[in-house]
Structure 1
Amino acid sequence: MKDKIVLGKTIDKWTKDYPLLEDLICTKEVFWTNPKYRKFDEAIKNISLSENHVKDAEERLQRFAPYIEKVFPETKDKQGIIESPIVEIPDMKDYLDAHCETNLLGNLLLKCDSHLAISGSIKARGGIYEVLKHAEDLAIDHSMLSKEDNYAILDSDKFREFFSQYSVAVGSTGNLGLSIGIMSAKLGFKVTVHMSADAKKWKKDLLRSKGVIVVEYESDYSKAVEEGRKQSDANPNSYFVDDENSINLFLGYAVAAYRLKKQLDELGVIVDRDHPLFVYLPCGVGGGPGGVAFGLKLAYKDNVHCFFAEPTHSPCMLIGLMTEEHDQVSVQDFGIDNITAADGLAVGRASGFVGKTLENLLSGDYTIDDDKLYVLLSALADTENIYLEPSALAGVGGIVDLFNTKAGQKYLRDSNLIDKMKNANHIAWATGGSMVPKEEMDKYYEKGIELSRE
């Protein structure tokens, strides 16, 4: 293995250049802080996207709200806006405190994207947004719709017939496929979801029940994306949602940050130089957490510190960022198998677009073991009566790693934050779980209880 050549270098040379790679290859938990992290005003100069792009996305979602409210009754209470609650989880913080042998300073909150309407995960943000933007573009280009119209008119045979001439396709480990599939089918598009081997059966079954074509692959996420893209490109009327490179997905996720800011204001949560905010975001290919982190940096600048969380068996973003090779390297290049219970995060090669966009904005990245995900899952259920899927727990352990690792403590010292941590707020971003069938969730819970006894 040490003699294997990756981008012209042996593994031995890679691990000498990046000593942390040794632990990643051994699938150990690590906490990495980004040496390229910069002050916001400096970092944003290198990025072509701006606040105006995010505002444009938010306005588009507002235009679609009457349609969403009409066709998805579960969004009525929010007038067609797909948004999740944020809640304090003090009992879970007490649990973490008791089990981590350190004093976790600040408040711990959970952003419940696990309970977003329509598809029950963070992907209801970017995925649904991109489908809506595509539908709007088509309808406006064909003079069927203007931005001044009440978009509820899209719920009609006329529009469904129009959209049925077009196809939408996506490659997915599960949750993105759900949001793209459900939304596209509702509008009337023909939709195909290319699913990797790790996608859960219940997600495939749910999609098929909505009239979505599901193509299954024996291999991982990257292959599903590659095949999906190839088949879609062969059809001029097909639109491929590219999770690896899509600016539209990214902007759909970024809208979350401004809504979160409003929620925190309503809760009386202060975010400023003396009240830092730490956000822990489960990461697969990077689009969802990347978009959210970008929006948060626009909203809070240097007062927010964003960390990605990845399974020990799928640390693609960490390897891409650390080596600065981004999508030019995969976890498999280094002998890591990319097999994890965190199906939404089972990605071997990170988005180069996201990695390069965030390389000066992201504070760091850490990995978490699958067994720990299950233990945290059952603990959150017991302490707060909140049930998440395993991948969504990746963010919950972040606060512990920040306080319990040398790298985390060094980050706080270097950022002059040590004396401000008692005023800090920590947000674990819960990315999915509310649509998991009960019998499946019961198995997750029991596994967590079993592992916590060991």
Structure 2
Amino acid sequence: MYTSDNLRKLHPVVEDLIAKKETAWLNEELFPTDVALSSCLLSEDDVRDAEQRMERFAPFFVKAFPETAVTEGIIESEVREISAMQQALVNYSGSKIAGKLFMKFDSHLPISGSIKARGGIYEVVKHAETLALEAGLIHLEDTYEKFASEEFKKFFSNYSVAVGSTGNLGLSIGIISAKLGFHVTVHMSADAKEWKKNLLREKGVEVIEYASDYSLAVERGREQAENDPSCHFVDDENSTDLFLGYAVAGLRLKRQLAEQGIEVNPENPLIVYLPCGVGGGPGGVAFGLKLAFGDAVQCYFAEPTHSPCMTLGMATNLHDKVSVADIGLDNVTEADGLAVGRASGFVGKVMKPFMSGCFTVSDARLFELMHLFYGAEGLFLEPSAFAGMIGPVMVPGTDESATHLIWATGGGMVPEDMQQVYLTKAKQMYSTRSGS
């Protein structure tokens, strides 16, 4: 049993985590990318295989989700400069931000409106492809528009999918699984937002609610699959398929930045700030970024001060063997997608050699940044999407040639009435801080 007393003695950063202090932890075990890759079980070939599979499914996405037609079935998000927010952040923090500030809008990915539209949808369509190939219903050279047919839906109705989620992963798994015809069950933790549960039920998804946190929801989903051989469990803590689905983003971002004339090399570094829950989404994206840019990219995980599971796991090298509860934290945060008490051991161990560090941010800060962003850019994002926004201020040692990239995680599907609730709270909290 690890206690807060012995952990704080061994690892000074734990003292700040216990105090819920916003803090940055810099990874002293960061390896050169080629060295880290040489001992990694996953490779660029694995990521390219995932990208090719998503391209095969593009005709299905166009047929089943007409909103993807504009990108010909490619599930991808915009990246653009947010110069107004950069100036607002400078005024807010009193700190200069060297370089330019950009945002990756995974908050508005089609189908499920969050970063989970990458890994979650990828894992489910890979499972569907495997079943269809084994049954002889499809061949690799066929058009995958067939997956939208009644014949395929009837076939998949004999199978089920289960997942445990704080919200956004449940949305992506539920929406895509139900569309394909699977019976799908989403086990939702106490912090999951009511509108997300309601939306899933509207899509024909079975939602089971728990009064406990994320870990119990995942455990119940795993138990369901273990007792049913026709059930596929999407394991947010350990899935390589989820991880590879997210990693595709790194290869695509390289093309997007090149199209905008943005150079990324050691003299012009890319610094990416990734909101982190259990770690699959940001870990997979960071892995893809390292494949794409090597040592020219620096990746940081951003977490709530009440739920710093990845910072705690990486800093102590205990990974999933330690929980935020072990150091007296309650794992309660408005950033529902980041409300995770125990990090993925798989992601923590795979990604530690690649990560530049982690930092934590308070819930109050998330809402203050939401208010600033809405005023500067006129766009709503979920609280969790702002975890990385303070990164350019918290992370030291950048220069004018740097490109800072905030990875926005969710917000595109939040109902308008809920957006107003969030924005009103954000305005109040910002006013309290500024004394106005």
Q: Same fold (TM over 0.5)?
A: yes
The separation in 2 between residues aligned to 1:13 and 1:384, in whole angstroms, is 45
Once the two structures are TM-superposed, the CA of residue 102 in structure 1 deviates from its matched residue by 2.0
Q: Give secondary structure in 2 for the equivalent of 1:235.
A: coil
Cα distance in 2 for partners of 1:319, 1:290 equals 15
Is 2:71 aligned against 1:78? yes
User: Residue 27 of structure 2 corresponds to which residue in structure 1?
Assistant: 34
For residues 288-340 of structure 1, give each alpha carbon's deviation from its aligned partner in whole angstroms, at most 9, with x where no partner exists: 00000000000000000000000000000000000101001110111100000
2:230 counterpart (228, 237, 242): 237
Amino acid at match of 1:11: S
- How far, CA to CA, are the matches of 1:311 and 1:220 in structure 2? 15
Distance (whole Å) between structure 1 residues aligned to residue 27 and residue 14 of structure 2: 14
Cα deviation for residue 123 of structure 1 reads: 0.1
The residue number in structure 2 matching 1:348 is 341
Q: Equivalent residue for 2:59?
A: 66
Distance 2:147 2:92 in 1: 52
- Counterpart of 1:415? none
Q: Residue 368 of structure 1 aligns to which amino acid in structure 2?
A: V
Alignment equivalent of 2:385, drawn from 385, 388, 392: 392
C-alpha distance in structure 2 between counterparts of 1:155 and 1:272, whole Å: 42
* Alignment deviations for residues 398-424 of structure 1 (CA, whole Å, 9 cap, x no partner): 11111xxxxx3xxx3xxxxx5xx1010
Aligned partners of 2:107 and 2:409 also within 8 Å: yes
Q: Offset at 1:268?
A: 0.6
Residue 407 of structure 2 corresponds to which residue in structure 1?
A: 429
Provide, for residues 360-396 of structure 1, a one-character-per-residue CA deviation record: whole Å limited to 9, x for no partner: 1000000000011011111111101121000011111
Q: Which amino acid aligns with 2:164?
A: G
1:311 maps to which residue? 304
Distance 2:124 2:226 in 1: 17
Per the alignment, residue 12 of structure 2 pairs with: 19
Gaps of 5+ in 1: 1-5, 403-407, 413-417
Tell me the equivalent position of 1:111.
Answer: 104
The amino acid across from 2:417 in the alignment is E
User: Is residue 2:265 matched to residue 1:272?
Assistant: yes
Residues 164-243 of structure 1: matches in 2 within 5 Å? 164-243=157-236
Aligned-residue CA RMSD (Å): 0.8
Aligned match for 2:355, one of 359, 362, 367: 362
Distance 1:387 1:306 in 2: 24
- Residue deviations 1:73-112, cap 9 Å, x none? 0000000111100111001000111121221100000100
Work out the CA distance in 2 between the residues paired with 1:348 and 1:297: 26
DSSP 3-state at the match of 1:306: strand
Equivalents in 1 of 2:173, 2:215: separation in Å? 18
CA–CA distance in structure 1, aligned partners of residues 208 and 386 of structure 2? 28
Query: 1:386 and 1:47 mapped to 2: Cα distance?
Result: 39
Amino acid at match of 2:374: A
- Post-superposition Cα deviations, 1:204-237, rounded to whole Å, max 9, x if no partner, equal 0000000000000000000000011011110000
- Residues 1:100 and 2:78 aligned together: no
Cα deviation for residue 443 of structure 1 reads: 1.3
Residue type of the partner of 2:244?
L
Percent of counterpart pairs with the same letter?
Answer: 57
Return structure 1 stretches of 4+ with deviation > 4 angstroms. Answer: none
Q: Does 1:323 align with 2:316?
A: yes
CA drift of 1:19 comes to 1.4
In structure 2, what residue type is equivalent to 1:48?
L
Q: Which moved more, 1:34-43 or 1:349-358?
A: 34-43
Q: Select which of 407, 422, 435 maps to 1:444.
A: 422
Q: Does 1:47 align with 2:40?
A: yes
* Residues 1:382 and 2:360 are matched in the alignment: no
Q: Which amino acid aligns with 2:226?
A: D
Q: Does 1:291 align with 2:280?
A: no
Distance 1:434 1:160 in 2: 27
The alpha carbon displacement at 1:11 in A equals 2.6
Structure 1 Cα separation of the partners of residues 403 and 308 of structure 2: 26
Corresponding position: 1:372 with 2:350:
no
**For residue 162 of structure 2, what is the amino acid of its counterpart?**
A
Q: Distance in 1 between matches of 2:48 and 2:13?
A: 39
Q: Which moved more, 1:183-192 or 1:149-158?
A: 149-158
The correspondence for 1:247, drawn from 240, 247, 256, is 240
Q: Give the secondary-structure state (helix, strand or coil) at the position aligned to 1:76.
A: helix
Conserved? CA contact 2:79–2:103, under 8 Å: yes
Kindly state the Cα deviation for residue 23 of structure 1 after the two structures are TM-superposed.
1.2
Contact 2:58–2:72 (CA<8 Å) still a contact in 1?
yes
Q: Equivalents in 1 of 2:287, 2:308: separation in Å? A: 20
Supply the distance in 2 between the matched residues of 1:154 and 1:49 (Cα, whole angstroms). 29
Inter-partner Cα distance in structure 2 for 1:141 and 1:289:
32
1:173-198 deviations in Å (ceiling 9; x for gaps): 00000000000000000000000000
What residue number does 1:257 align with? 250
Letter in 2 for 1:269: I
TM-score (structure 1 length as normaliser): 0.94
2:345 aligned partner, one-letter code:
G
Residues of 2 paired with 1:316 and 1:62: CA distance?
34
